[in-house]
Chain A
């Protein structure tokens, strides 16, 4: 039972499917709320520009929403499929937030999304708008329950050990875990960072294209006639894209400020809750007082003794990031390992169910290059995206848009930055938790923890696991291409492609559906 490769395949599968799912989720959450906001603006002002924005950005949201929904089903199933021992161990606690997510949030999301897509003109404007808010707020509620479940794996609370398994004693403690209270705002700001940059990228690209077309026609010989005959809607169209871009930039700037503040808070919490994760994030090999923050390192950070590592550091900063005090001590990997060994053991139990892992020594240091660079890339990509949002606000003020042939492609490429920041953040936080799947809570003596090697399904063969890994990854790869293809197509198509054709005068009471697949 449990050969080494089974665990590796199961982890790769969880990593790939979860990272992929989390490419869709932040865009869905951020965009859904923004679209509901645009529709509210239309409802209140009656201005068609807001209706067009709702329809256009709503269409892109739907292309993405479908992918988020279907890849989410995999998440709900794979705990039982690939991680049966984990599911048995944590079931009393972990299943509850998942079931709550389904009943309270996911039902609302799917049902009201259907009503919103098909309900244009069928429902009254107010009810239709309420549907938009229902599904978009449900996506946020969904995120809360899922993060509560994940936070419990990072920092178990509200339980006691009964017959070797954690038993829930307070659901309230799980839902108000300090870890989820920190992770939730950080994640939601991350969603808005993605959505804001998305609006900024596509909106900016459309403005850039319009300006280039205009300049091209104006420089032609018969430009007088052309510019005179340019449809009046063209200026309105540019305004719409410009407004979308600036809305995205504002959302981005606020979101990035929120990310920095909530991230700082979360980081300080993690120094208390999972000191090894944070020491690994810094490749801090030895305890320092005061501790320096490493900006950049070369050499082999994967060696815990760090002998070959040269690092550019800023003194005192890490002490402040960890404890809010510039001169405090921060523990290093080398000093933490014996502490962990003393608290949590040096070897896995000699249980035959663990197969090749029975009695194996425990390696307490996470994958250092992944945590070190994951942490830096998270912050780095976030900073690039934040700077771009601020730059857009300045350089496009008052309807401006800079000339230059590269700005369009740059605007599109920049969409990737907050996605990358999100991904690296999650890779860091989940790899930094290793070798635990449920990391111990250092301020509690209830002895609740589980090693990842103990969590995998003993009855599943590596061949089956590899089959599903290959099948899911291939399908996901194809669907990624399809989604991007559709996004590009709708972005190119602009407003005309998403606004319903004007109804005929005598067609008022026809039975034709306002929308159909």
Chain B
């Protein structure tokens, strides 16, 4: 029983890590056409996340892989029921990953414009899909007794889930702006900071609505605590941003996000995926969990692996800790069309 609870928390933590880390790199991608005026500035934006976005993305793979290992029934029902959103998410992650790597490999404005469009599209659409499926796992889906979907592929598009989609989108955008004000200097820093201050409250609105909804529909008394923490941290973050404390603002957004994830997963517990058709068909932690032996095996791996991941990913951020600006961007270096000779 304790191992099942532990793994429920580990999965919440992995999703938190993913939303925190890839949240800001989605935000940077979304802001590419807004804050990146001209090629040099766009390259500054992309290079703030250049060395780290790939490591960030692995969090979603490990979150989903851990759901498979620890709660196979959860993994199977959520991914097959939300088949289309996951398909769209996969297409976006494919395009986005390739775009970062290939964008600078040919020195041509048209080539770069194409990949920029892919980055922007994927950075807007991916958080929507993630928000959609995460709120669906909290609010439930029309599952039959076997855990499979009843109804059309689009049954996931309910109002609460759409609010959830907008919540992750809004958070990612704000988080991206805060990250850029922390990682750049000069003009881009000022504009991203201005954007965070001006639109911050609006961007956080769907997230607040999502939390309140989850709390009212599924929550318990104690989940009011993280809800309040989330609101206070988010507002304090904006206040610190106003005082040019970029690092504190960014960290406080992280605290707010952590509180949101705790509220949502707290509201979900002891289920992992409710059925909106019949409460008896809801998938619970106890029903979907792997055997104690399997959970113990993956616990040992996670116990040694996860801290190591945090250490070396933290080290990566330390290595590339410097703020960058257009003055740091080297000239484009790519093969010329005809080859060397």
Question: Using Cβ atoms and an 8 Å threshold, which residues of chain A touch B65?
Answer: 76, 95, 98-99, 101-102
A113 interfacial by beta-carbon distance below 8 Å = yes
Specify which chain B residues have a CB less than 8 angstroms from the CB of A113 in the assembled complex: 54
In the complex, are the beta carbons of A475 and B293 less than 8 A apart?
Answer: no
Contact across chains for B78 and A95 when beta carbons are under 8 A apart: no
A514–B87 CA distance with the chains assembled, in angstroms? 37
User: Are A492's CB and B339's CB within 8 A?
Assistant: yes
A262 nearest CB across to chain B (Å): 28
Contact of B298 among A65, A100, A117, A458 (CB under 8 A): A100
Asked whether, in the complex, the Cβ of B50 is within 8 Å of the Cβ of A457, the reply is no
A457 and B148 contacting across the interface, CB-CB below 8 Å: yes
Decide if B147 is an interface residue (CB 8 Å cutoff). Answer: yes
Q: Are the CB atoms of A517 and B50 closer together than 8 Å?
A: yes
Q: Which of B42-89 contact A (CB under 8 A)?
A: 43, 46-47, 50-55, 57-58, 60-62, 64-73, 75-81, 83-84, 86-87
A99 lies within 8 A of B62 (CB): yes
Given contact pairs A69-B54, A92-B72, A496-B340, A169 touches B293 in the complex (Cβ within 8 A): yes
Interface members, chain A 81-120 (any B CB < 8 Å) = 81-82, 84-85, 87-88, 90-96, 98-104, 106-108, 110-115, 117-119
Nearest CB of B to A472, in Å: 7
Q: Which residue of B lies closest to A94 (CB)?
A: B68
Complex contact B105–A115 (CB within 8 A): no
**A460 pairs with B319, CB closer than 8 A:** no
| Neighbouring B residues of A213 by C-beta, 8 Å | 341
A341 contacts the other chain (Cβ, under 8 Å)? Answer: no
Residues of A within 8 A of B33 (CB): none
- With contacts A104-B305, A517-B104 taken as known, whether A81 is within 8 angstroms of B340 at the C-beta atoms is no
Nearest-neighbor residue (CB-CB) of A459 within chain B = B148
- Say if the beta carbon of B316 comes within 8 Å of chain A: yes
Q: Does A515 contact B (CB under 8 A)?
A: yes
Q: Does A257 contact B (CB under 8 A)?
A: no
- Of the candidate stretches A36-44, A191-199, A418-426, A463-471, the one touching chain B is A463-471
Q: Chain B's interface: helix, strand, loop or mixed, by majority? A: helix
- Tell me if B84 and A114 are in contact (CB < 8 A): no
A102 neighbours in B (Cβ, 8 Å) = 58, 61-62, 65-66
CB contacts under 8 Å to B, within A48-93, are 62-63, 65-67, 69-74, 76-77, 79-82, 84-85, 87-88, 90-93
**Which residues of chain B from 204 to 242 have any CB-CB distance to chain A below 8 Å in the complex?**
none
Bound-state CA distance A482–B60 (Å) is: 26
A443 to chain B, nearest CB (A): 22
Quick check: is A391 within 8 A (CB to CB) of the other chain?
Answer: no
How many positions in chain A have a CB within 8 Å of any CB in the partner chain? 90
Instruction: Report if B1 contacts A (CB, 8 A).
Output: no
Residues of B near A496 (CB, < 8 A) are 340
Residue of B nearest to A167 (CB): B291
Please tell me which one of the listed residues A99, A111, A122, A465 contacts residue B301 in the complex, with CB atoms under 8 A apart: A99
**Provided the pairs A70-B97, A81-B87 are in contact, do residues A517 and B43 lie with their beta carbons within 8 angstroms?**
yes
Residue of A nearest to B57 (CB): A110
Known contacts being A122-B319, A497-B335, is A98 close to B78, with CB within 8 Å? no
Q: Is A481 an interface residue (CB 8 A)?
A: no
Q: Which of B57, B94, B338 is most buried by chain A, counting CB atoms within 10 A of its CB? A: B94
Q: Do A472 and B103 touch (CB < 8 A)?
A: no
CB neighbours (8 Å) of B90 from chain A are 73-74, 77, 472
| Contact for B330 among A479, A490, A514, CB less than 8 A | A514
CA distance A496 to B333 in the complex (A): 10
Segment 256-309 of B: residues with Cβ below 8 Å from A = 290-291, 293-294, 297-298, 301-302, 305-306, 309
- B87 & A114 in contact (Cβ 8 Å cutoff): no
The 0/1 profile, CB within 8 Å of B marked 1, for residues 268-281 of chain A is: 00000000000000
Q: A444-482 interface mask toward B, CB cutoff 8 Å, 1 = contact, 0 = none? A: 000000000000011111011101100110010001001
Enumerate chain B residues within 8 angstroms of A70, measured Cβ to Cβ.
Answer: 93-94, 97-98
Residues of B within 8 A of A463 (CB): 153
Interface centre among A353, A486, A516 (most CB of B within 10 A): A516
Q: How far is the CB of B333 from chain A (nearest CB, A)?
A: 7
Contacts of B102 in A (CB 8 A): 63, 66, 482, 486
Is the CB–CB distance between B69 and A98 below 8 Å? Answer: yes
What residues on A are CB-neighbors of B293 within 8 Å?
167-169
- Kindly report which residue of chain A lies nearest to residue B296, judged by CB atoms: A171
- Residues from chain B with a CB closer than 8 A to the CB of A458 are 146, 148
Q: Is A413 part of the binding interface, using a Cβ–Cβ cutoff of 8 Å?
A: no
Complex contacts, B95 vs chain A, CB 8 Å: 475
CB distance from A175 to the nearest CB of B (A): 10
**Is A511 positioned at the interface, with any CB of B under 8 Å from its CB?**
yes
Closest to B90 in A: A74
Q: How far is the CB of B288 from chain A (nearest CB, A)?
A: 9
B contacts with A, residue count (CB < 8 A): 88
Which residue of B50, B69, B149, B334 contacts A95 across the interface (Cβ within 8 Å)? B69
CB of A84 to closest CB in B, whole Å: 4
Q: B90-149: which residues lie under 8 A (CB-CB) from chain A? A: 90-91, 93-95, 97-98, 100-106, 144, 146-149
In the complex, the answer to whether A80 meets B58 with C-beta atoms within 8 Å is: no
Given the complex, which residues of A lie within 8 Å of B338, measured CB to CB?
492
**Distance in Å from the Cβ of A309 to the closest Cβ of chain B?**
41
Which A residue's beta carbon lies closest to that of B334?
A497
Is B69 a contact partner of A66 (Cβ separation < 8 A)?
no
Stretch at the interface among B157-165, B191-199, B321-329: B321-329
Chain A residues with Cβ below 8 Å from B72 are 87-88, 90-92, 95
Tell me which residues across on chain A come within 8 A of B294, comparing CB atoms.
92-93, 95-96, 167-168, 171
Closest to B103 in A: A517
Does A516 contact B336, Cβ atoms closer than 8 Å? no
The 0/1 profile, CB within 8 Å of B marked 1, for residues 498-517 of chain A is 00110000000001111111
B320 adjacent to A511 (CB under 8 Å): no
Q: Report Cα–Cα, A96/B75, bound state, in Å.
A: 13
The residues in A between 160 and 195 inclusive whose CB is less than 8 angstroms from any CB of B are: 162, 167-169, 171
A182 shortest CB reach to chain B, Å: 23
User: Which of the listed residues B68, B106, B312 has the most CB atoms from chain A within 10 Å of its own CB?
Assistant: B68
A489 close to chain B: CB less than 8 A: yes
Q: Tell me if A107 and B79 are in contact (CB < 8 A).
A: no
Closest to B293 in A: A168
The 8 closest A-B pairs by CB, nearest first: A91-B72, A493-B335, A80-B79, A459-B148, A95-B69, A492-B339, A497-B335, A95-B68
Q: What are 26 A-to-B residue pairs whose CB atoms are below 8 Å?
A: A66-B100, A69-B54, A72-B61, A77-B90, A80-B68, A87-B79, A91-B290, A92-B72, A92-B291, A102-B66, A103-B301, A104-B305, A110-B55, A114-B316, A115-B319, A168-B297, A171-B294, A471-B87, A479-B94, A482-B98, A494-B339, A497-B340, A500-B330, A512-B327, A517-B46, A517-B104
Known: A103-B306, A459-B149, A494-B341. 9 other contacts (CB 8 A): A70-B94, A87-B76, A93-B294, A95-B294, A96-B298, A98-B65, A111-B54, A123-B319, A497-B334
